[in-house]
Chain A
């Protein structure tokens, strides 16, 4: 256990990060860049060898994202970033990745403020440590954090739903960057802007904007450290001390309803019938995903429902609930309210 909570080191890092973030908000980026190079000696000496040869001006949007996927899977790095959402405080994260000696991928995502949250991935097992909850492990090939895993590891999976447009060169986090737009093919979802490091391909900044172009969510990288050797942090993990992984056996269920409208490229990835943990209400549930965003659809009997229709925004998610005949339909996800409304109204009896 002690391996995970090296308090002293973490505090030092948090202080440094706080210093950096305050500099970013207060001072021009130039000062930040200087500070950065003083406090952290430039370690990005040798970028990925195979990739260095490619003439970067001519890369397409997808090729840029494939570079990102490659560096995310194959290199040792340590990235600090802050997550900002409209009307909320900034949340700082520390993200480490390493390929260990035996070829096993290791990854860590640590929430740096408050009591924190620590997620550690070894191969395809993710262990989660949170305050007030017993640690647990599940099988997953990526940590589910603020960055969509398909964007980091599998950009081709996004091509059905989105197109990638290269914008040009710019400067982010003190480094030369390539700017891309990720635009949904049917204009039914929020759009994204991505900035990637020209030299390494590493993610530097990700914006989520609504259809009018105003910013909803921003991830800004404040420090990148790509190194030859895995971070010493990973050598302190004792795999035996991690909780055993719990297998989740899917139980596909037939529902009597189906969703007839979905944004282009969005697919059903799960359906089931179960009880809500907090209220014990029985719901029929379907989960849809296009790789960037996930949309939950709940159908439950109307008698224990909200007695009126509700639309609200929870953080960046839209919550929409309609009572339609004898059922209450609820849509939750990072999609514009109009899209949630269209999905809700397309629900009808199956097999029609």
Chain B
């Protein structure tokens, strides 16, 4: 077991070159826990972790969602209307809101990386100077490493990771828009339910 832990430690430092090792720790819950705590320790040493180590929401969230029934429920008011009841099953009704949200258009105007490392593979050349807005292009300007810092927004060779990232950003933005639209709906629903008996 100790040997396993040593290997784990070496693997984390990138000193172990054994492809089978990943599978072996994936199937071993003890090793997995160790793997996780090593990372927490490392983050702590590097002063990256300002969040408590037990602050792991994955398990709780998954459990919470298991118990979660569908959030939208039909009002007794419109359900009791004979026409609506026949035409629209309430499950479809809740689906509509989800669709409404996903359609909310989200366009990203510009992506600028905060922690982007300078691309290491960029060779140091004195020809093919990249075009920098606002910089005179007469003659050959010296290349500096900072020039690779800005992430081009719409280049043909977008990597999968970048597309994936855009998708996630769009998902969050669309969700935010939807939340604003539905902001009032919840409290008003409660009030409506309370005043229901008085209505004709």
A contacts, CB < 8 Å to B: 87, 124, 128, 130, 132-134, 136, 138-142, 144, 149, 243-251, 253, 256-257, 269-270, 272-279, 281-285, 287, 289, 294, 296, 298-301, 303, 305-315, 317, 319, 321, 324-327, 330, 332-333, 345, 348-349
Contacts and interface: CB of A to CB of B under 8 A. Distances in A.
Contacts of B111: 310, 312
Interface string B58-83: 10111011001001111101110100
B161 interface: yes
A249 B175 contact: no
A245 B108 contact: no
B189 interface: yes
A325 B50 contact: yes
Given A247-B192, A325-B50, A326-B55, A138 B182 contact: yes
Q: List 8 A-B pairs, minimum CB-CB distance, nearest first.
A: A244-B78, A325-B51, A139-B188, A278-B171, A140-B184, A247-B189, A138-B185, A247-B75
Contacts of A307: 161, 165
Nearest to A278: B171
A124 B192 contact: yes
B25 interface: no
Given A284-B61, A301-B58, A310-B111, A249 B173 contact: no
22 contacts: A87-B109, A133-B99, A136-B97, A246-B72, A247-B73, A247-B75, A247-B189, A247-B192, A249-B190, A251-B71, A256-B60, A278-B170, A278-B174, A294-B180, A298-B175, A314-B107, A314-B109, A315-B109, A319-B169, A319-B173, A348-B52, A349-B55
B115 interface: yes
B179 A136 contact: no
B191 interface: yes
B64 A253 contact: yes
Contact of B108 (A248, A283, A312): A312
B39 to A, nearest CB: 8
Interface in B99-133: 99-103, 106-116
A89 to B, nearest CB: 12
Interface stretch (B2-10, B16-24, B88-96): B88-96
Contact of A250 (B167, B174, B190, B192): B190
Nearest to A279: B171
A248 B55 contact: no
Given A299-B57, A319-B173, A349-B51, A250 B62 contact: no
B49 interface: yes
Contact of A277 (B78, B98, B107, B113): B98
Give the most central of B94, B101, B186: most A CB within 10 Å.
B186
B155 interface: no
Contacts of B64: 253, 273
Contact of A301 (B57, B65, B102, B109): B57
